[in-house]
Amino acid sequence: MLLERVAAWPDQAQAEFVRSLEDIETRHIGPYRLSNDERQAVQRGLREMRERKLADDAAVAAVFDRFRA
């Protein structure tokens, strides 16, 4: 079994294995934790939304209509 063989792996490989398992657990169990970069991107998006810097539905539809023609 793989988990039994891990004990014989070099320390660096074991550490990588643990990080991989922690990443899988984070993505599939419990709340998702944003990285600092992700948090900044969300804050930037919210700020742009409040400042009305995002395209409205009509503007997006116009772009799609132009490229569909």
**Strand positions, DSSP E, 1-69:** none
For the chain, report the end-to-end CA distance as a whole number of angstroms. Answer: 58
Q: What is the pLDDT of residue 55?
A: 87
Residues 7 and 17: beta-carbon distance below 8 Å: no
Q: What is the pLDDT of residue 42?
A: 97
User: Can you list the residues of the chain whose pLDDT is less than 70?
Assistant: none
Q: What is the pLDDT of residue 37?
A: 97
> Which secondary-structure segment (H or E) carries 26?
helix 11-28
Q: Residue 60 has which token pair?
A: 């997006």
Question: pTM here?
Answer: 0.45
30: left (phi over 0), alpha (psi -120 to 50) or beta: left
